[in-house]
Amino acid sequence: MAEFTGRPGEVLERLNRLYPALIDLSLDRLKALLARLGHPEDRLPPVIHVAGTNGKGSTCATLRAIAEAAGWRVHVMTSPHLVDVTERFRIAGRLVSETELVATLEDIERVNAGAPITVFEVLTAAGFVLFARHPADLAIIEVGLGGRCDATNVLRRVAACVVTSISRDHEAFLGETLGAIAMEKAGIFKPGVPAVTGVQPPEVMAVLKAEALRVGTPLACRGEDWTISPVQPGSPDSDSAQGSGTQVHGARVNGARINDVQGSGATRPGLLLRDARGTLSLPAPALPGPWQVENAGLAVEALRLSGLSVPEAGWQGVGRVSWPARMQRLHGALAAMLPQGWELWLDGGHNPGAGAALAQALRDWSDRPVHLLVGMKQTKDASGFLGPVLPYATDIWAICEPEQHLALPVESIVAASGGKAHVGPTLARALGALAAEQGGPARVLICGSLYLAGVALKQDGWRAS
């Protein structure tokens, strides 16, 4: 199945024929194209540049929610899309229209004049052109792959950089060790531009610190330069931490678990962030999953380091984040296939680090059976993803949807599961088989691939807004 469809897909398919015969992993092609386009990348509002392996999208969504709560107009460029390519570009708060995107791609095709170029380079150029054309107060740019040689790294003017959680992924391009991968991610560091990172494996943190020192990047590390923790419900500070966004002092913070991802309705503790500027109370993260505490902290700390003046109301955005396919409860056509009282969830995590994070959430689902529907991309480490989650699964179903881009065959998923997985092979057939069992209330989690997540959202009736 093609990754791009519709009118934008027609233009991108033509441009895909210009794919360079030799991939040199340099930025020269894109720099030349941007020069012919009048350097739109230099005409953007203040930019927050976000790299990492896991959590980039959630961090970008939190940055956007904070900025919009502050009353700012916000540009956002993320990848990949889930259902439609227009999801990659949010212009001053609104998704780009198909008409404007197609016109922009056609302009770039004309200016490029048949020169070798990659589709991601074209899409990156399109984002810069769109963002330069429309006024805004902030631009949030997500790295596509790695950092050092990523197309987004042509940016020369950045307000702050973020490096989210780093784990193994895309080893063929980024290197076989965590240190090598971290070196690529650190490639977005720029002299004098503040950067923030969270908890990292020691090998990763050593590389990030060394690169920051070499480049001249002030690097703020969680646990050393800033902290963020949930406030225990019922503690003296829990009321103030429910989301006023005010500065508080002398707060006592306990290691409370955030609200169960199934949404029990229990009071969720707020957060306290501490750094050199003081202590800031924040609302509980809107996105479920214990890892979202750190993603919220990365977004907040990046804005505090950026030099931008965020009004107090902006911090309320932490509690208003929306980001699809990240521990998302589905309620549409797919969910309707399950018996009453069952829950259908979706998560696009697809590498060993994401599997470990999902396992944290699944531990809180011990009150009922958990059925995993897993589909993966051909290049991903299926065993590494499944290893952490299998102990919490009642059963597992291998999925390979016809519309799923570069889907891993179900036989490979069965092998990666140690022979434990049943063959779906589609979402509808697996859900139908589970429904036929007529057991008590259970949870079903679709996971393993953002491309599968896109298929699931489309089948469930979801549309980006």
CA trace torsion 329, 332, 337, 338 (10° rounding) = 30
User: What is the pLDDT, as a whole number, of residue 262?
Assistant: 30
Confidence of residue 248 (pLDDT cuts 50, 70, 90): very low
Residues contacting 233, CB < 8 A, separation 6+: 256, 267, 268, 269
Lowest mean pLDDT among 74-88, 243-257, 370-384, 447-461: 243-257
Query: Mean pLDDT throughout 355-380?
Result: 94
List the helix and strand counts (H, then E) for the chain: 14, 17
| Strands 89-91, 74-77: pairing kind | antiparallel
User: What is the pLDDT, as a whole number, of residue 100?
Assistant: 98
User: What is the pLDDT, as a whole number, of residue 254?
Assistant: 29
- Asked whether the predicted pLDDT for residue 250 surpasses 80, the reply is no
Residues contacting 242, CB < 8 A, separation 6+: 270, 281, 283, 284
User: What is the pLDDT, as a whole number, of residue 146?
Assistant: 84
State the sign of the Cα–Cα–Cα–Cα dihedral 304, 140, 32, 100. Answer: negative
In angstroms, rounded to a whole number, what is the distance separating the alpha carbons of residues 297 and 239? 19
Tokens 């999953």 correspond to what residue? 289
- Asked whether the predicted pLDDT for residue 300 surpasses 90, the reply is yes
pLDDT tens-digit readout, 179-197: 999 999 999 999 999 999 9
User: What is the pLDDT, as a whole number, of residue 26?
Assistant: 83
User: What is the pLDDT, as a whole number, of residue 157?
Assistant: 94
User: What is the pLDDT, as a whole number, of residue 261?
Assistant: 30
The model's pTM: 0.90
Is there a contact between 352 and 384 (Cβ–Cβ < 8 Å)?
A: yes
Name the average pLDDT for the chain: 91
pLDDT tens-digit readout, 346-363: 999 988 988 998 999 999
Tokens 């509808």 correspond to what residue? 428
| Strands 278-282, 271-275: pairing kind | antiparallel
At residue 141, φ and ψ (nearest 5 deg) are -120, 120
CA distances from 99 to 88, 131, 221, 251 (A): 15, 16, 42, 51
